[in-house]
Structure 1
Amino acid sequence: MLSALILLPLLGAALISVLPSGVAKLPRRVALVFASLAFLWNIVLTTKFDPTVTSQQFREFLPWIDALGLNYHLGIDGLSLPLLLLNGLLTCVAIYSSDEDLQRPRFYYSLLLLLSAGVTGAFLAQDLLLFFLFYELELIPLYLLIAIWGGERRGYAATKFLIYTAVSGILILASFLGVVWLSGAPSFAMETLNTSALPLATQFVLLVGILIGFGIKIPLVPFHTWLPDAHVEASTPISVLLAGVLLKLGTYGLIRFGLYLLPEAWSYVAPTLATWAVVSVLYGASCAIAQKDMKKMVAYSSIGHMGFVLIAAAAATPLSILATVMQMISHGLISALLFLLVGIVYKKAGSRDLDVLRGLFNPERGMPVIGSLMVLGVMASAGIPGMFGFIAEFVVFRSSFAVYPVQTLLCMIGTGLTAVYFLILMNRAFFGRLSAQVVNLPRVYWSDRAPAIVLAVLIVVFGIQPNWLIRWTEATTTAMVDTQNVVANVSLVKAKSTN
């Protein structure tokens, strides 16, 4: 059942690659069909998923390479289920919002489906080495999607992304090998790993490799510099996937392989992680304020908001780990919406420069519907009540404040700064008289707005009724923390440091 989630995109990519070259629009339609089938199958699995069961469900196991201890081992739980749904949805959005007249469409849509298959496999993998293989698989399609269909500096941005992600993969692989070999586990299967007997110093070294490796992917300061360049040069659909899904591989990895496998070492580095989160939140927000490119502003906003996930993970309480999932899904939907809207503005107005754009709210010659959706998106990102961003950030702060009150208060400043830079964006680009440099704007059709409207509806729905998400995740995240006794370890470390 789970293999179908991986095989459907792969089959779609294979079919697209053998299509005749003369049919320009057919690859997009085929890609959308296979991506939609994978998403619908994901929904079917969700209906069969038991949210009260904390162990892996729909498990698949197939021996692969015995000499390496590598097996094809898949499973799904409350931590991975929402992220799989998010990946399926945003893959459909990215394919639908791609230009119909782009060059080399067969190669482009094949890469998009390969990217989706790699991300899906990473979220499903229950074997460390299998996760690493899928983690590296998504690197190649994303690099090519930026390098071929990106902006003027696409080569530089793609190469920078490749180098950073390659370093990330090396650190993660080295840490995974250390966990397996030093613990004496017979294979890379997570259920066979027991790190409790490892010396604390050894656990600490392994955890540092995992933290930096996934910290590059999130990305956290100072490993963030690849992200703004990648976003600015990537096309809109690729930015949607990059911010909405691919960054979540980093936070997912921290929780699944950092906190869960090495809880004792995690408890000792947790205060540092909370401080690290503050740096990322405030730095990302401060850089966003200084930007004049709308897309770069949203990119730096992502850096800041991913810091909220880190401080919740550092607190390591049942509520805070639940908050990490809420914040990941919230950020995925909101950032995807914002990048979509910025892409529409750039496509119709020919600029993302806040010194050029003005008056796009003009009801006759501007983009009033796009402006309204942008208001909703920035309000959600700034944590206005009634939006998913508010409830996700509220649970993050509520859960982390009891453990790290000072760091939480500093992160809350980042929420205020979010309102500042997005107010600058709205005031400059959408209000006032329509700029003379942006006239005779092409019409924005409802087909252009449809993906953004879907995301906006989900943001409001989950903001009003977050339990529709929480119910699938709460049992799993609570069991993860309770089983590993992370809360007790964090409290013990805090008590020692106080004394």
Structure 2
Amino acid sequence: MLSALILLPLLGAALIGFWPSDISGKFVRRLALVVASITFLWTVVIATQFHPGEVTQQFAESLPWIEVLGLNYNLGVDGLSLPLLVLNGLLTCIAIYSSDESLQRPKFYYSLILLLSVGVTGAFLAQDLLLFFLFYELELIPLYLLIAIWGGAKRGYAATKFLIYTAVSGILILASFLGIVWLSGGSNFALATLNTKTLPLATQLLLLGGILVGFGIKIPLVPFHTWLPDAHVEASTPISVLLAGVLLKLGTYGLLRFGMNLLPEAWTYLAPWLATWAVVSVLYGASCAIAQTDMKKMVAYSSIGHMGYVLLAAASGTPLSVLGTVMQMISHGLISAMLFLLVGVVYKKAGSRDLEVVRGLLNPERGLPVIGSLMIVGVMASAGIPGMVGFISEFIVFRGSFPVFPVQTLLCMIGTGLTAVYFLLLLNRAFFGRLSAQVTNLPRVYWSDRAPALVLAVLIVIFGIQPAWLSRWTEPTITAMVSTQNVVATVSLDKAIRAGD
């Protein structure tokens, strides 16, 4: 069942890319959307057959691959990866649906999007360190090309910067994975066979350092964040949806799966520093967002701040806070995708994203009233207004983190207030007031332009009112993971006390 999630988009990419004759962009888009929709529906089928109470990997697949390297084709899904798989399937469909039918080289474009989906899906399913790394690197080239070919005026600079940062991330992650296997005496890279609990604390700290920086670049955390605003500004709207909604989650997923889960003793030792790092990212991202006049760049900087909440919750290491990490990842994926979609519509219709140019877009007669209304919904969700998924995810993060790191949690809560500040600035400048003379006679907005954001808005409200529909898939897995971590940390502390005595 799990291999189908990889093979379907892979075969779809091959079919589209090697289609023997020239075909219209509209036909290619529809074909890619069919493939992505079937893949998404298959993730839903898997979710319906998933048993939340089982904390082990479900639908596991294992095949030998390159035995001399210790590489095996091991796939599995649990409560940590399942919500992210469904999110990836949904946002891939939305990205393809939102793509321009008249874009150049459509066969290459849609093939790359499907290959990007293959890499992300494989990374979430991989139960082998080396297999994860291969899928993690697979998504690098498609995203680089999608920015470099179909991006904005400075697309070459932004794509190259993304490539360099992500390549460094991959090198650090691979070095840490190799160290984990070799130093722990493992015979292969399978997660189930690794025993890292016997490693000395100093060794664990060194390995965890590589994982933290490697995945910290991907998240991204300050000061490794500078590639993200450039990539978002130059990428097309559908690519920004995938980048913010899914690809950043590879970093936070990696921290949980390979950092906290494999090296719990070192993770507990560094937890206060990680919580402080989260505060820096949250406040810096929010402060930079306030200073922006480009709507897309403001949303990009907001992602840096909101992903810092995930690090705070993971550092706290309580069952409630770690549950909040998954909730926050899904919440941010839905909200950021919606905001980027709406900013894309504004840019397409008004010809500008500059807050000094666009004004009064909420005008009911000559503006973009429905888009403005949806933007208000997205802003309210991002600012943590009750009744929306952004509120419940941040509440769980803060409630679970406060008993462990009260000062850091309170400082991160300031970031929530700053979120309201910069998004209110966006709404006030772009949507309220008199319609700017520079953006009059706006083209008509069709329901096809609004549909993707409407779908996300509905999900944001549904999960805000009924968060248990989301958390029930994850909570047992997270509880088991945190229990194991706490046992290891307690045993290590007892050993340290005895050694001191």
TM over 0.5: yes
Q: Counterpart of 1:379 in structure 2: which amino acid?
A: M
Equivalent position of 1:124 in the other structure: 125
1:426 and 2:447 are equivalent in the alignment = no
Cα shift at 1:27: 1.0
Q: Is the 8 A contact 1:179 1:195 kept in 2?
A: yes
Equivalent position of 2:454 in the other structure: 453
- What SS is found at the alignment partner of 1:434? coil
Q: Counterpart of 1:477 in structure 2: which amino acid?
A: I
1:360 and 2:346 are equivalent in the alignment = no
1:205 and 2:203 are equivalent in the alignment = no
1:69 and 2:70 are equivalent in the alignment = yes
Alignment of 1:153-172 (within 5 A): 153-172=154-173
How far does the alpha carbon of each residue in 1:127-149 deviate from its partner, in whole angstroms, 9 at most, with x for none? 00000000000000000000000
Equivalent position of 1:173 in the other structure: 174
Q: 1:330, 1:148 → 2: CA distance?
A: 30
Equivalent position of 1:231 in the other structure: 232
Q: Is the 8 A contact 1:78 1:472 kept in 2?
A: yes
Q: 1:238, 1:491 → 2: CA distance?
A: 44
Q: 2:488, 2:182 → 1: CA distance?
A: 27
Q: 1:409, 1:292 → 2: CA distance?
A: 28
Gaps of 5+ in 2: none
1:318 and 2:319 are equivalent in the alignment = yes
Alignment of 1:467-478 (within 5 A): 467-478=468-479
Q: Counterpart of 1:244 in structure 2: which amino acid?
A: G
Cα shift at 1:256: 0.1
Q: 1:296, 1:455 → 2: CA distance?
A: 21
- What SS is found at the alignment partner of 2:270? helix
Cα shift at 1:485: 2.0
- What SS is found at the alignment partner of 1:472? coil
Cα shift at 1:220: 0.1
- What SS is found at the alignment partner of 2:437? coil
Equivalent position of 1:350 in the other structure: 351
Q: Counterpart of 2:219 in structure 1: which amino acid?
A: I
Alignment of 1:54-453 (within 5 A): 54-453=55-454
Going from structure 1 to structure 2, the CA distance change for 1:492 and 1:399 (only over 3 Å counts) comes to: farther
- What SS is found at the alignment partner of 2:65? strand
Q: Counterpart of 1:437 in structure 2: which amino acid?
A: Q
Q: 1:9, 1:360 → 2: CA distance?
A: 38
- What SS is found at the alignment partner of 1:101? coil
Q: 2:319, 2:65 → 1: CA distance?
A: 35
Comparing 14-23 and 301-310, the one that deviates more: 14-23
Cα shift at 1:489: 4.4
Q: Counterpart of 1:335 in structure 2: which amino acid?
A: S
How far does the alpha carbon of each residue in 1:437-467 deviate from its partner, in whole angstroms, 9 at most, with x for none? 0010000000110000000000000000000
Q: Is the 8 A contact 2:363 2:435 kept in 1?
A: yes
Going from structure 1 to structure 2, the CA distance change for 1:153 and 1:462 (only over 3 Å counts) comes to: same
1:13 and 2:13 are equivalent in the alignment = yes
Q: Is the 8 A contact 1:317 1:487 kept in 2?
A: no
Gaps of 5+ in 1: none
How far does the alpha carbon of each residue in 1:211-238 deviate from its partner, in whole angstroms, 9 at most, with x for none? 0000000000000000000000000000
Q: Counterpart of 2:9 in structure 1: which amino acid?
A: P
Q: 1:317, 1:363 → 2: CA distance?
A: 48
Q: 1:441, 1:17 → 2: CA distance?
A: 36
- What SS is found at the alignment partner of 2:473? helix
Q: 2:90, 2:374 → 1: CA distance?
A: 19
Q: Counterpart of 1:13 in structure 2: which amino acid?
A: A
Cα shift at 1:349: 0.2
Q: Is the 8 A contact 2:361 2:432 kept in 1?
A: yes
Going from structure 1 to structure 2, the CA distance change for 1:487 and 1:334 (only over 3 Å counts) comes to: farther
Q: Is the 8 A contact 1:481 1:487 kept in 2?
A: no
Cα shift at 1:319: 0.9
Q: Counterpart of 2:182 in structure 1: which amino acid?
A: W
Going from structure 1 to structure 2, the CA distance change for 1:61 and 1:189 (only over 3 Å counts) comes to: same
Going from structure 1 to structure 2, the CA distance change for 1:205 and 1:149 (only over 3 Å counts) comes to: same
Q: Is the 8 A contact 2:173 2:214 kept in 1?
A: yes
Q: 1:128, 1:487 → 2: CA distance?
A: 21
Q: 1:98, 1:67 → 2: CA distance?
A: 43
Cα shift at 1:369: 0.4
Q: 1:269, 1:197 → 2: CA distance?
A: 18
Q: 1:492, 1:455 → 2: CA distance?
A: 45
Cα shift at 1:186: 1.1
Cα shift at 1:487: 8.5
Q: Is the 8 A contact 2:116 2:142 kept in 1?
A: yes
Cα shift at 1:484: 2.7
Cα shift at 1:488: 5.0
Comparing 476-485 and 443-452, the one that deviates more: 476-485
Cα shift at 1:64: 0.3
1:23 and 2:58 are equivalent in the alignment = no
Q: 1:490, 1:199 → 2: CA distance?
A: 13
Equivalent position of 1:2 in the other structure: 2
Aligned-residue Cα RMSD (Å) equals 1.3
Cα shift at 1:25: 1.5
Q: Is the 8 A contact 1:388 1:462 kept in 2?
A: yes
How far does the alpha carbon of each residue in 1:349-389 deviate from its partner, in whole angstroms, 9 at most, with x for none? 00000000100000000000000000000000000000100
- What SS is found at the alignment partner of 1:25? helix
- What SS is found at the alignment partner of 2:25? coil
Aligned residues: 495
Q: Counterpart of 2:153 in structure 1: which amino acid?
A: E
Q: Is the 8 A contact 2:85 2:121 kept in 1?
A: yes
With the length of structure 2 as denominator, give the TM-score of the two structures. Answer: 0.97
Q: Counterpart of 2:10 in structure 1: which amino acid?
A: L
Q: 2:99, 2:314 → 1: CA distance?
A: 35
